[in-house]
Amino acid sequence: MQNFDNKVAFVTGAASGIGLALCKALLNAGSKVMMADIDADGLEAAAKGLGVDDSRISTIVCDVKSAESVNAAAQATIDAFGQVHIVMNNAGVGLGGYPGSIPLDDWRWITDINLLGVVYGVEAFVPLMQAHGEGGYIVNTASMAGHISSPGMAPYHATKFAVVGYTETLAQELAPLNIGVSVLCPTWVKSNIHNTASKRPSADPKNPLPTSKLTETLKNLVENGISPDTLADLVLKSMQAKRLYIFNDPEAKVAISMRHKVISDDYDACLSDLGLS
Ligand SMILES: NC(=O)c1ccc[n+]([C@@H]2O[C@H](COP(=O)([O-])OP(=O)(O)OC[C@H]3O[C@@H](n4cnc5c(N)ncnc54)[C@H](O)[C@@H]3O)[C@@H](O)[C@H]2O)c1
């Protein structure tokens, strides 16, 4: 995607953090934006804060863990702007814990939002992009946690690895339809992601956020992360450059290489055991 002027974009998780910054960057580049989020009050405040003419911005309360809600948001986008060219499936939540300690309803909750929420966005919007024939672009937000793993964050890693694999497949499937695809893989961006576990089904209303050394560390890293506006500008540049992966972390590349080395070493060892190398 070279030119954002007069394009119509749909962004989930638009009330806060990265999603809000993406909306800002798209509006600055000349697009019209449908902002979608489950947080009605936050969404209204975020949209108002952007100070953009009503003809270029609209909002829809949308819960990405419901296909019906995402379909209704897609229809609202068409009703507001006539067509859609850019879809950013960005809404996401965090959840950690160790085996034996994570309620299965919490696992289902994060999977419904972080993985199926992305799938619902693709299912709802690809036919709409195909229908106008002008091409389009999808950005799915995964994470660096979709490339490397660390203890205590299995539900987050599992959903984000899945979004990376899903998006790699989509890139191959949608290229013939002139729909570009990128997977956003950020590390530590200043946002509210460290508070989202408070919405998990098992949260105690009196004390919704789990506290541990790990959650404190994550909170500090997010609060000292890069500006979401810097990341959003990188996303638009990466769309213009048609990059499949979008990264911002100067240090994590070595960890990805180490993961690939373990895969390569184990692969060779297995082939050797089979007498195939
Ligand atoms: N902040 C980071 O360091 C970081 C790093 C890697 C990846 N990410 C990913 O970036 C994305 C955006 O997160 P953020 O950091 O801006 O956090 P954030 O909490 O500031 O924003 C997330 C937004 O998603 C919305 N949301 C949550 N559940 C929803 C649902 N069911 N339906 C619709 N909207 C919902 C929230 O209301 C919120 O406005 C997430 O997918 C997150 O996993 C963030």
Give 238-263 pLDDT, tens digit per residue: 999 999 999 999 999 999 999 999 99
* Residue 13 near residue 91 (C-beta atoms within 8 A): yes
Residue 248 covered by a domain = yes
Residue nearest to atom 32 of ligand 1 (CA): 63
Q: Does residue 223 register a pLDDT over 90?
A: yes
**H helix runs in 133-248, sequence order:** 154-174, 213-223, 228-240
Give the contacts of 101 (CB within 8 A, at least 6 positions apart): none
| Residue 252, amino acid | A
Whose alpha carbon is nearest atom 24 of ligand 1?
A: 13
Active site residues: 156
**Alpha carbon of 37 to ligand 1 centroid (Å):** 10
Give the tens place of pLDDT for each residue, 53-110: 999 999 999 999 999 999 999 999 999 999 999 999 999 999 999 999 999 999 999 9
Q: Is 65 in the pocket of ligand 1 (CB under 6 A)?
A: yes
**Ligand 1 centre and the CA of 13: distance in Å?**
6
Q: Is 59 in the pocket of ligand 1 (CB under 6 A)?
A: no
For ligand 1, what atom is nearest to the CA of residue 160?
A: 43
Is 261 part of a structural domain of the chain?
no
| 147's tokens | 């490339």
Task: Judge whether 238 lies within some domain.
Answer: yes
CA 193 / ligand 1 centre spacing (Å): 6
Atom of ligand 1 nearest to the CA of 19: 16
Tell me, yes or no, whether 264 lies in a domain: no
Token output for 177? 């339809």
Which ligand 1 atom is the nearest neighbour of the CA of 187? 5
In a domain, 112, yes or no: yes
CATH code (residue 12): 3.40.50.720
- Assign 214 a pLDDT band (cuts: 50, 70, 90): confident
Q: Would residue 152 count as lying in a domain?
A: yes
Total-model pTM: 0.98
Q: Rounded distance, CA 119 to CA 108, Å?
A: 15
The response to whether residue 9 sits with its C-beta less than 6 Å from ligand 1 reads: no
Q: Please choose, from the candidates 68, 72, 59, the residue with its C-alpha nearest in 3D space to the C-alpha of residue 20.
A: 59
| Domain assignment present for 263 | no
Question: Cβ distance 163 to 114 under 8 Å?
Answer: yes
Could you read off the pLDDT of 18-64 as tens digits, one per residue?
999 999 999 999 999 999 999 999 999 999 999 999 999 999 999 99
Instruction: Tell me whether residue 202 is in a domain.
Output: yes
Instruction: Name the band, by pLDDT with cuts 50, 70 and 90, for residue 228.
Output: very high
Mean pLDDT, rounded, for 202-230: 92
Identity of the residue numbered 15: A
Please state the domain count of the chain. Answer: 1
CA distances (Å), 10 to each of 58, 83, 173, in order? 10, 10, 21
pLDDT in tens, 118-166: 999 999 999 999 999 999 999 999 999 999 999 999 999 999 999 999 9
At 209 the pLDDT is: 86
Q: Which domain holds residue 44?
A: 8-252
Q: How far is the CA of 92 from the centre of ligand 1 (A)?
A: 4
Residue 210 pLDDT class (50, 70, 90 cuts): confident
Q: Is the pLDDT of residue 274 over 90?
A: yes
Mutation probe of ligand 1 site: the residue of 10, 11, 12, 16 with most atoms within 8 A of C-beta: 16
Looking at residue 240, its pLDDT comes to 98
CA–CA dist 72, 82 (Å, integer): 14
